Structure 1
Amino acid sequence: MIVRDKETIKINIPLFLLPPESREENILNIITFRHVKETETAKERISSLLERLKNKDIGWTEFSR
């Protein structure tokens, strides 16, 4: 049942993430936004780690440990 015209999706959120006084019948506003700079920083960090792994000389003896 749609309560409001703009209601388009229902999601399950763990109870511990909701305000303590929240109840089942409450309407909550949830705002999300992208962290463009943090995303780019993470991509660079992961790319660097992958490059280090590619260039690392791993012998078969290291796999048998």
Structure 2
Amino acid sequence: MNEFILKINNLPRRGYAILKINLFKILRFFGISFSFKIGKSGVDEKGNRYKEYTKEELFFIK
């Protein structure tokens, strides 16, 4: 597992982005969905949960 992480860290940025997108697709295929809490999240006045995504996050989630 540690070797796998080291290989990811040594990849160039573009390769890392592609790997990350594929990771999301694989996880969604298995019905696992999660989000990184980079954007602001909270509860508005009506009690609805909301989350504001950064542009990078939206790029990875698509």
TM-score range, shorter chain: 0.3 to 0.5
- Indicate the structure whose relative CO is greater, using CA pairs within 8 Å and at least 6 residues apart: 2
Greater strand share, structure number = 2
TM-score with structure 2 setting the length: 0.33
TM-score with structure 1 setting the length: 0.31
Q: Which structure has the bigger radius of gyration?
A: 1
Greater helix share, structure number = 2
